[in-house]
């Protein structure tokens, strides 16, 4: 019994709106089968008109098409509602039409009598015109726009996905935002595909309206003359006016719904609704209004023209242009800065000695809006995202990035400095997009040829209107702010070791000391000076090993510091302690580690060279050249088959080879056998051997 009560309570707590859709559908289907009284038919026709007006207003006030994502379903339901009302009204027209023009309700009578003046010839012409406008003009245009939009949206999905991945990798967005953008792209494709199909319902409804009109007229004549003994003129008058009223009361809401569909699919998604866009884009230029007023005024002066209408409209347009110009002048006056007061020249002081910025970003004057807080510069937000993602993935907070303008640069130029020295530069064009060729594009685009400043890929600067086309062709399309932020992120990561100063190291140790104060106290400065810890952390960063697990690093240093003080040896021992994290960083999900290995002969020669010269200076030039050549070739082959180039070597050779190959083959990662966990499966894909 208690279970029954629980089920009843759960059913009672069900929200009403969850039952609205099935009830509406059953009501629509019921109207096709069950006869309706005239009063209820009037109520349903009125509801249909009100519903179409609501849909049109929602479409006008929608900022983006996806804000009205349920519109294809609404289009189907309203079409079914109109058809069911046509069936119900046809039944009552044919059954009660002999009783007079109000036999099918007051709504049909009003549309059939008052709107067309009781003249069924005029009514038929008006009905046909409405059907032609709806079927040929609005519905066909909206369907074509939806079809093309669906095709281009599907073609552009790979490029949009790559742009999201680029923003995610650059730290500009998080995983949650990336998932939301991917879902939005999928919903956009589904929306336009659904609109393409839903527009066919409206076209079918228009054809059905014409057929229903003729069925009502012909059937009414037959029933009125043969069954109710009406004369042909009376039967034609009664049934034709009722059929026209029935057709108009259905086609006018259909025309409103089709207009709403055209508004939704034809608008460009912005943060403004249609009314605001029209006011801000169509009536915002006083020059246009002045020219239009002049032309309309001249036409009004032509003899025979309606002077009052033309001249009145010209006066209104001229007055509007005058108001717009006054507003623009006031805005410029308020925005102009006050004249600066000439101050007395002060003597030089220590305040004039500006310290060198650790990280700096200098921009040309055309890029100033991207970094101006007053203009909501998007690049400032992206820089914050770069620093946050760097801290989360590398393990420490990088220095603040000092942004300033530099008139010595090109207008669109920028450069990135590290301790006063330039480490990267490029150009960005606000208002345009950089279309990057990832190597899989399917066509060409007009634009300014350049290269991606971060990775050197071929690219084009294109206008904003070609963005969708570029994405459809397979380009990765990013805006100017993203270009600069991605370049900055790439350089900051590449110089993470240089950015790690003593202050940052001390802050890291202080954070560990909050949980393990004794551990840090015993290590620094009792066993190791702070500079040695800094060199160890910098050595890890130079080899692209993050230092997030600082607790393990400090543990390893505390274990080996009593007998080892050399930073290079300590780095090797710390890497062994971080082995599992290093392997996971290289192979995030792989169960099998596919690596390259050294030929036994080459390994023996390198071991002998290391014994003769611990710093690697004893390697013969021929052997060094062979090693570099084969390491570079093997790394390229690994990348071509989609594998990470990793060389697995004995622990005694790892430091030597890492320092020797770091600059020539930067993409190659060197692992020692001691760093690989015992549970990992190793597969050797190629052997590096010296032939000398």
pLDDT of residue 1: 43
Q: How far apart are CA 227 and CA 221, in angstroms?
A: 10
Q: Provide the CATH number for the domain around residue 470.
A: 3.40.30.60
Q: Taking 70 as the threshold, does the pLDDT of residue 240 lie above it?
A: yes
On whether residue 625 sits in a domain, the answer given is: yes
Say yes or no: 465 and 522 in one domain. no
Q: What separation, in Å, do the N-terminal and C-terminal C-alpha atoms of the chain show?
A: 90
Please give the pLDDT value at position 360: 92
Global pTM reads 0.56
Least confident of 362-366, 370-374, 534-538: 370-374
CATH for 520: 1.10.8.540
Query: Is 15 inside any structural domain?
Result: no
Is the pLDDT reported for residue 354 higher than 60? yes
- Give the Cα separation of 580 and 300 in Å (integer): 85
Residues 638 and 556 in one domain: no
- Mean of pLDDT values over 318-326: 80
pLDDT per position as a tens digit, 605-655: 888 877 776 665 557 777 788 888 888 888 888 888 888 899 999 988 888
Q: How far apart are CA 201 and CA 83, in angstroms?
A: 11
Highest mean pLDDT among 254-268, 272-286, 417-431: 417-431
Is there a single domain that holds both residue 57 and residue 180? yes
Q: Which residue has the tokens 């390697």?
A: 619
Omega before residue 601 within 30° of 0, cis:
no
In contact, 158 and 474? CB cutoff 8 Å: yes
d(CA 144, CA 122): 32
State the average pLDDT for the chain: 80
Collapsing DSSP states into helix, strand and coil, what is residue 415?
A: strand
pLDDT at 142 over 90: no
Average pLDDT over residues 1-19: 49
Residue 260 and residue 183 share a domain: yes
pLDDT digits (tens, 9 = 90+) for 462-477: 998 889 889 888 899 9
pLDDT at 7: 44
Q: Tokens 């925005």 — which residue?
A: 335
From 577, 595, 625, the end of a domain falls on: 577
Looking at residue 216, its pLDDT comes to: 74
Residue 507 and residue 493 share a domain? no
Query: What pLDDT, on a 0 to 100 scale, did the predictor assign at position 16?
Result: 58
* β strands within 195-276, DSSP E: none
Q: Give the residue among 642, 550, 547 at the shortest CA–CA distance from 587.
A: 642
Give the strand order in the sheet containing 448-451. 448-451, 458-462, 433-436, 476-479
On whether both 229 and 292 belong to a single domain, the answer is no
Residue among 597, 599, 601, 661 nearest 629 (CA)? 661
Domain presence at residue 515: yes
Residues 56 and 176 reside in one and the same domain: yes
Between CA 416 and CA 423 the distance in angstroms is 6
pLDDT tens-place string over residues 542-576: 988 999 999 999 999 999 998 999 999 999 999 99
Q: Is residue 396 part of a domain?
A: yes
Rounded distance between C-alpha atoms, residue 112 and residue 189, angstroms: 42
CB 585, CB 579: distance < 8 Å: no
Let me know if residue 540 belongs to a domain: yes
The whole-number pLDDT of residue 285 equals: 76
Query: Are residues 507 and 488 part of one domain?
Result: no
8 A C-beta contact, residue 439 and residue 398? no
Domain count, the chain: 5
To the nearest 10 degrees (0 to 180), the angle between helices 232-266 and 140-169 is: 20
How far is residue 666's CA from residue 672's CA, in Å, rounded to a whole number?
17
Looking at 577, 595, 610, the residue that finishes a domain is 577
Of 186, 169, 148, 171, the closest CA to residue 66 belongs to 186
Distance in angstroms (rounded) separating the CA atoms of residues 496 and 548 = 13
Cβ–Cβ under 8 Å, residues 404 and 360? yes
pLDDT by residue (tens digit) across 114-133?
Answer: 666 666 677 777 777 777 77
With a CB cutoff of 8 Å and minimum separation 6, the contacts of 453 are: 424, 425, 426, 427, 483, 487
Q: Is residue 22 part of a domain?
A: no
Residues 604 and 619 in one domain: yes
Same domain, yes or no: 246 and 362: no
pLDDT digits (tens, 9 = 90+) for 186-202: 777 777 777 767 667 76
pLDDT of residue 293: 79
Question: Is residue 32 one of the residues assigned to a domain?
Answer: no
236: left (phi over 0), alpha (psi -120 to 50) or beta: alpha
Q: Which residue segment(s) compose the domain that 299 sits in?
A: 287-327
Nearest 5°: phi and psi at 589? -130, 0
Which of 3-17, 110-124, 148-162 comes out lowest in average pLDDT?
3-17
Over residues 47-76, the mean pLDDT reads: 81
If asked whether residues 225 and 136 sit together in one domain, one would say: yes
User: Where residue 670 sits, what CATH number does that domain have?
Assistant: 3.40.50.12790
Query: What pLDDT band is residue 665 in, cutting at 50, 70 and 90?
Result: confident
What are the two backbone dihedrals, phi and then psi, of residue 130, each rounded to the nearest 5 degrees? -60, -40
Instruction: Please indicate, yes or no, whether residues 237 and 250 belong to a single structural domain of this protein.
Output: yes
pLDDT of res. 5: 41
- Top-confidence range, 153-167, 334-348, 497-511: 497-511
Residue 483 is predicted with a pLDDT of: 93
| Domain annotation covers residue 337 | no
What CA–CA distance (Å, rounded) separates 162 from 109?
Answer: 59
């Amino acid at each position: 019994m208690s279970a029954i009560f629980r089920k009843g309570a759960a059913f009672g707590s069900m929200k009403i709106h969850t039952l609205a859709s099935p009830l509406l559908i059953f009501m629509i289907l019921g109207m096709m089968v069950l006869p309706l009284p005239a009063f209820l038919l009037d109520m349903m026709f009125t509801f249909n008109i009100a519903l179409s007006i609501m849909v049109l207003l929602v479409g006008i006030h929608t900022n983006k098409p996806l804000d009205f994502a349920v519109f294809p379903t609404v289009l189907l339901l309203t079409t079914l509602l109109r058809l069911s009302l046509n069936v119900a009204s046809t039944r009552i027209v044919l059954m009660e039409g002999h009783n007079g023009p109000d036999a099918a309700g007051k709504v049909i009578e009003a549309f059939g009598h008052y709107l067309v003046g009781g003249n069924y010839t005029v009514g038929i012409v008006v009905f046909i015109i409405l059907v032609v406008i709806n079927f040929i003009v609005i519905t066909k245009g909206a369907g074509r726009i939806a079809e093309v939009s669906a095709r281009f949206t599907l073609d552009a999905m790979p490029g949009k996905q790559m742009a999201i991945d680029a923003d995610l990798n650059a730290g500009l967005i998080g995983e949650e935002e990336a998932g939301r953008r991917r879902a939005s792209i999928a919903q956009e494709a589904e929306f336009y595909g659904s609109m393409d199909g839903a527009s066919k319902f409206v076209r079918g409804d228009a054809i059905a309206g014409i057929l229903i009109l003729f069925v009502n007229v012909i059937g009414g004549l037959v029933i009125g003359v043969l069954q109710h003994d009406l004369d042909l003129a009376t039967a034609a008058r009664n049934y034709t006016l009722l059929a026209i009223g029935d057709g108009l009361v259905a086609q006018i809401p259909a025309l409103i719904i089709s207009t709403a569909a055209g508004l939704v699919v034809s608008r460009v998604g912005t943060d403004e609704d249609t009314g605001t866009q029209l006011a801000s884009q169509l009536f915002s230029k006083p020059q246009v209004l002045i020219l239009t007023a002049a032309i309309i005024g001249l036409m009004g002066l032509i003899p025979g023209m309606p002077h009052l209408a033309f001249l009145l409209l010209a006066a209104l347009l001229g007055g509007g242009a005058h108001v717009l110009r006054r507003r623009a002048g006031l805005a410029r006056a308020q925005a102009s800065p006050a004249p600066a007061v000439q101050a007395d020249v002060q003597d030089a002081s220590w305040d004039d000695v500006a310290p060198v910025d650790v990280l700096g970003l200098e921009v040309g004057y055309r890029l100033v809006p991207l970094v101006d807080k007053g203009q909501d510069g998007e690049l400032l937000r992206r820089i914050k995202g770069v620093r946050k993602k760097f801290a989360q993935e590398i393990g420490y907070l990088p220095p603040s990035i000092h942004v300033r303008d530099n008139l010595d640069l090109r207008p669109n130029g920028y450069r990135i400095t590290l301790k006063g020295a330039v480490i990267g530069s490029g150009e960005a064009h606000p208002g345009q997009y950089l279309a990057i060729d990832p190597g899989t594009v399917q066509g060409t685009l007009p634009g300014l040829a350049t290269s991606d400043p971060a990775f050197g890929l071929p690219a084009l600067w294109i206008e904003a209107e070609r963005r969708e086309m570029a994405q459809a062709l397979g380009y990765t399309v990013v805006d100017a702010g993203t270009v600069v932020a991605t370049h900055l992120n790439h350089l900051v990561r590449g110089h993470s070791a240089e950015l790690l100063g003593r202050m940052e190291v001390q802050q890291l140790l202080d954070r560990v000391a909050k949980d393990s104060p004794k551990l840090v106290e015993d290590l620094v400065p009792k066993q190791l000076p702070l500079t040695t810890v800094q060199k160890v952390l910098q050595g890890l960063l130079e080899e692209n090993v993050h230092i997030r697990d600082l607790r393990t690093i400090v543990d390893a240093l505390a274990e080996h510091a009593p007998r080892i003080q050399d930073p290079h040896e300590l780095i090797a021992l710390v890497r062994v302690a971080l082995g599992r994290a290093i392997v996971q960083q290289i192979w995030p999900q792989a169960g099998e580690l596919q690596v390259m290995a050294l030929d036994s002969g080459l390994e023996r020669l390198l071991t002998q060279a290391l014994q003769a010269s611990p710093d690697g200076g004893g390697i013969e030039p021929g052997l060094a050249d062979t090693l570099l050549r084969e390491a570079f070739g093997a790394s390229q082959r690994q990348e071509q088959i989609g594998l990470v180039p990793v060389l697995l070597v004995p622990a005694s050779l790892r430091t030597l080879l890492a320092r020797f190959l770091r600059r020539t083959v930067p993409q190659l990662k060197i692992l020692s056998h001691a760093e690989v966990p015992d549970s990992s499966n190793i597969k050797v894909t190629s052997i590096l051997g010296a032939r000398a």
